[in-house]
Chains A and B, each alone.
Chain A
Amino acid sequence: MPNLKELMQQESFFSPGHRMCAGCIAPVAVRQVALAVGGAPVVVANATGCLEVATTIFPYTAWRCGFIHNAFANAAATLSGVETAYRALKKQDKLDSEIKFIAFGGDGGTYDIGFQSLSGAVERGHRMLYICYDNGAYMNTGIQRSSATPLYADTTTSPAGRHSSGKSQWRKDLTAIMAAHNIPYAAQAAPSHFMDLMAKVQRALSVDGPSFINIMAPCPRGWRYDTRAGISLTRQAVETCYWPLYEVDHGSWKLSYRPRQKQPIEDWLRSQGRFRHLFVAGGEEEIKQLQERVDLEWARLLKKCGEAAA
């Protein structure tokens, strides 16, 4: 694989000039995916969401490849139809190109409203890569909680208040759920670890069947951080083991990265405005609970990956 300097010179299917917010990591993730694909022809489907609305404002488009947006809940179903058409036309010798199929959806369009469509599409075995850019809330509609929102995060529908510490549930473990579909490849990645992310994309596109990658993609508006801090926040999420990097390749769980020294979750929380309410008197208990749950999930993951306990 080329180095970062070389990669930065490359053109990809995702062009600059879109209207995503400054400091948003979703387009960074998409660019890394696109660079991993290189020159191979792709067709992209996108669920309704920030990425879709900010990259396809008619009459402009940021997509240099075939691109389809249908609705919020159906990116996977829509792309499964595109992929089926591809197979049908190939079988009839009406098409001879090799095309890869990639769907992008935010956590709302993937964990929640689009989950049935995604589950159905991967169960049917369409050869496509579904990528969730997980920013942990419905950012496009104004920061409402999703099932990917972290415990105790302050969102506009799980607001912190006198009787609330923010979202009261742990996030849905979607990557594990996708792995449980027994698809050839499922992985979790972060743009801070871009070589790992790109290798995962290439692996995902090489398998014969559906694949899924969950990419953490911080949102400066929803997480309330300085627009320069997005990438360091995903690095910190990996170092704290809130967002571990791993892959499940044909049923085999493998940890992609083990932090030398696991960092306390408190440091990650402190750098985001959505957890500010925890850093007042009485918030220690919530932070402790968060840490305990991170430790528990990390221990479970280490076991699944056949790693020595922490």
Chain B
Amino acid sequence: MQERIALTGNEAMALALKQINPDVVAAYPITPATEIVQLFSSYAANGMVKTEFVAVESEHSALSAVLGASAAGARALTATSSQGLAYMFEVLYIAASYRLPLVMPVVNRALSGPINIHGDHSDSMGVRDAGWIQIYAEDTQEAYDNLIQAVRIAEDPAVQLPVMVCIDGFIISHALENLEIMADEKVQEFVGPFTPRRPSLLDLDHPVTVGPLALFDYYMEIKRGQAEAMRKAKPVIKEVGQEYGRWSGRKYSFLEPYQLAEAEIAVVVLSSTAGTTRVVVDELRQQGIRAGLLKPRVYRPFPQQEIKAALGHLKAIAVLDRADSFDGFGGPLYKDIRAALYEVPDRPRIINYIFGLGGRDVGLDDIRSVYDDLAQVAAGEAPEFSIRYLGVREEAL
């Protein structure tokens, strides 16, 4: 039985956390993710969850504490954003290599400097190679759904990897939207009880050393094992997405195409901007322009084959990155998409835009201009280019 209510992205994530009802949550406040842990601490304070809540003194300690709790056999979560995620950097890699199934909402926010509290993807893109699964949500519904699925994905015996569930700061975290929620028991049933896959630190009969020193003789096999787990995560993500569909009526996979099959030109963009883009696609379709959209939902593991299949037939593609690599070549999503299409014999032309940094608004006109450019590139009237900045005052540089 599903209920339809209005929640902000943060409230939806906090609700999902409450329904998951983990053993341990350790967290530190940071705008715009603060509300998630604030709400959660009130659930703990009012006995609405069984969770032990630890209000730590930093994000570094937040992730360190949930890492310890997970190694001790507890289902453990934290949430963060921006500088907090950056502060966790070294522990992110450690959590992945210890194969601990942590789940962490990341409310995407620009990294300093200059300091800025608004949404962009520089935080999670900066840790895209940390060994975490990354799932990006477009709206509050997806934020809620992705968080619940993340628990199952992370804890799958074949996976045992941590998962980041990303939503756009403020745009989604603070915007009120209608969504359908499952009953607490239903969520509990879906995620199931937590079963540690190896002896826990608290298993006195099987003393275990977690986090030993491994040098050139073993390190590489351990890293290779992580890569293998990431590969094995793909069918699990798909299966969990389908099963979740049977439970909730909302099925999930790696990518969400929109008007793509018959399209000639398309935009590829993560998260909330997909919503804006969809509106423009509808407009263009009414004008008879064969425009489409691809919203990747899962960025790590990178769904290369699926992307190839979804985009290979197009004439021209624009990849919109809400983070820059500062390498003069293009944003991270662009480079991955471009590489994914290398094997396509008659590959589409592909262009890149960096947009929305520090919460810079992206409106319908911005997206329209992208499709205008795309139409020209597709027709061979404009050159393929690797990087252009959307909505920036170039004259102010």
Interface presence of B211 (CB below 8 A): yes
Q: How far is the CA of A53 from the CA of B56 in the complex (A)?
A: 27
State in angstroms the CA–CA spacing of A67 and B212 once bound together. Answer: 9
Whether A91 contacts B73 by the Cβ 8 Å rule is no
- The reply on B210 being an interface residue by CB < 8 A is yes
Residue of A nearest to B52 (CB): A88
Smallest beta-carbon distance B193→chain A, Å: 10
Given known contacts A71-B90, A77-B68, A84 and B210 CB-to-CB distance under 8 angstroms = no
Q: How many residues belonging to A are interface residues under a CB distance threshold of 8 Å? A: 45
Measured in the bound complex, the distance between the Cα atoms of B50 and A117 in whole Å is 25
Contacts of A116 in B (CB 8 A): 57-58, 60-61
Name B65's contact: one of A61, A84, A89, A123 (CB within 8 Å).
A84
Instruction: Give which listed residue, B58, B64, B68, B212, contacts A85 with CB less than 8 A.
Output: B68
Provide the B65-94 mask, 1 if CB < 8 A to any CB of A, else 0: 111111111101000000000000011001
Q: Indicate if the CB atoms of A61 and B52 lie closer than 8 Å.
A: no
Q: Is the CB of A77 within 8 A of B72?
A: no
**Distance from B196 Cβ to chain A, minimum over Cβ atoms (Å):** 10
Nearest B-chain residue to A60, judged by Cβ:
B212
- Asked if B286 is at the interface (CB within 8 A of a chain A CB), the reply is no
In-complex Cβ contact of B66 among A59, A64, A81 (8 A): A81
Assess whether B23 is in contact with A58, with CB atoms less than 8 Å apart: no
CB distance from A266 to the nearest CB of B (A): 40
Does A141 belong to the interface (CB within 8 Å)? no
Interface size of B by CB at 8 A reads: 44
Known: A70-B94, A71-B94. A58 touches B76 (CB 8 A): no
At the interface, yes or no: B209 with Cβ under 8 Å from chain A? yes
Q: Encode contact with A along B358-393: 1 for CB under 8 Å, 0 otherwise.
A: 000000000000000000000000000000000000
Whether B72 and A81, one on each chain, are in contact in the complex, defined by CB atoms closer than 8 angstroms, is yes
Quick check: is B183 within 8 A (CB to CB) of the other chain?
A: no
Give the distance in Å from the alpha carbon of A97 to the alpha carbon of B50 in the complex.
Answer: 20
Residues of A near B215 (CB, < 8 A) are 57-58
Contact in complex: B202, A99 (CB < 8 Å):
yes
Q: Are A79 and B68 in contact (CB under 8 A)?
A: yes
B213 at the interface (CB under 8 A from A): yes
Asked if A172 CB lies within 8 Å of chain B CBs, one says: no
Q: Is A167 an interface residue (CB 8 A)?
A: no
Residue of B nearest to A71 (CB): B90
Are the CB atoms of A57 and B64 closer together than 8 Å? no
Chain A residues in 8 Å Cβ range of B208: 66-67
Q: Report yes or no: A78 in contact with B64, Cβ–Cβ below 8 A.
A: yes
A66 touches B57 (CB 8 A): no
Partner of A123, one of B57, B67, B74, B76: B57
Query: Quick check: A74 and B23 within 8 Å, CB to CB?
Result: no
- In the assembled complex, the CB of A279 is this many whole angstroms from the nearest CB of chain B, namely 38
B214 contacts partner chain A, Cβ-Cβ < 8 Å: yes
Does residue B51 face the partner (Cβ distance < 8 Å to A)?
A: yes
Q: Could you say which of B23, B51, B68, B203 has the most chain A C-beta atoms within 10 Å of its C-beta?
A: B68
Q: Mark B205-226, 1 if CB is under 8 A from A, else 0.
A: 0011111111100100000000
Q: For window 80-95 of chain A, which residues contact chain B by CB distance below 8 Å?
A: 80-82, 84-89, 91-92, 95
Q: Are A69 and B76 in contact (CB under 8 A)?
A: no
- Does A63 belong to the interface (CB within 8 Å)? yes
Q: Mark A43-73, 1 if CB is under 8 A from B, else 0.
A: 1010000001100111101011111111101
Interface centre among A45, A77, A120 (most CB of B within 10 A): A77
Tell whether A119 is near chain B: CB-to-CB under 8 Å.
yes
Give B367 Cβ to nearest chain A Cβ, in Å: 42
Report Cα–Cα, A86/B201, bound state, in Å: 10
Residues of A within 8 Å of B203, CB to CB, are 66
A58–B52 Cα gap in the complex (Å)? 33
The smallest beta-carbon distance between B103 and chain A, in angstroms, is 15
Contact with A along B176-214 (1 / 0, CB 8 A): 000000000000000000000000111110011111111
Interface contact A58-B218, CB-CB below 8 Å: yes
**Chain B residues whose C-beta falls within 8 Å of the C-beta of A53 in the assembled complex:** 213
As a 0/1 sequence over residues 6 to 24 of chain A, the CB contacts with chain B under 8 angstroms (1 = contact) are 0000000000000000000
Chain A minimum-CB-distance residue to B90: A71
> Does the CB pair B202–A85 fall under 8 Å?
yes
Is A68 in contact with B55, judged by CB distance below 8 angstroms?
no
In the bound complex, residues from chain B placing their C-beta under 8 Å from that of A61 are 209, 212
A67 touches B54 (CB 8 A): no
How far, in angstroms, from A187 to B202 measured CA to CA in the complex? 27
B24 at the interface (CB under 8 A from A): yes
Query: Which of these, B24, B56, B201, B214, contacts A43 with CB under 8 Å?
Result: B201
B42-64 toward A: CB 8 Å interface, digit per residue (1/0)? 00000000111011111011101
> Does A251 sit within 8 A of B, measured CB to CB?
no
Q: Is B111 at the interface (CB under 8 A from chain A)? A: no
Q: Is the CB of A67 within 8 A of B207?
A: yes
Cβ-based interface call for B26 (8 A): yes
| Complex interface: chain A residues within 8 A of B67 (CB) | 70, 78, 81
Q: Which residues of B contact A88 (CB under 8 A)?
A: 23-24, 50-52, 69, 74
CB distance from B69 to the nearest CB of A (A): 4
Tell whether A78 pairs with B201 under 8 Å between CB atoms, given A123-B57, A124-B54: no
In the complex, which residues of chain A have a beta carbon less than 8 angstroms from the beta carbon of B50?
Answer: 88, 91-92
Shortest distance between the CB of B7 and any CB in chain A (Å): 27
Instruction: Kindly list chain A residues whose C-beta atoms are within 8 Å of the C-beta of B57.
Output: 116-117, 119-120, 123
With A70-B64, A95-B202, A120-B61 already in contact, the answer to whether A52 and B213 are too (CB < 8 A) is: yes
A73 to B61, CA, bound (A): 9
> CA of A57 to CA of B74 in the docked complex: distance in angstroms?
26
B211–A89 touching, CB < 8 Å:
no
Asked whether, in the complex, the Cβ of B201 is within 8 Å of the Cβ of A120, the reply is no
Q: Which of B58, B207, B214 has the most CB of A within 10 A?
A: B207
Question: 18 pairs across A/B with beta carbons < 8 Å?
Answer: A58-B212, A58-B214, A58-B215, A66-B200, A66-B201, A66-B204, A66-B210, A70-B64, A74-B60, A80-B54, A81-B54, A81-B65, A85-B72, A88-B74, A91-B52, A97-B202, A116-B57, A117-B60
Extra contacts, 9 of them, besides A63-B209, A116-B60 (Cβ < 8 A), are A66-B200, A67-B208, A80-B56, A80-B65, A84-B24, A84-B69, A85-B74, A91-B52, A124-B56
The 6 closest A-B pairs by CB, nearest first: A81-B68, A120-B57, A81-B65, A77-B61, A85-B72, A85-B74
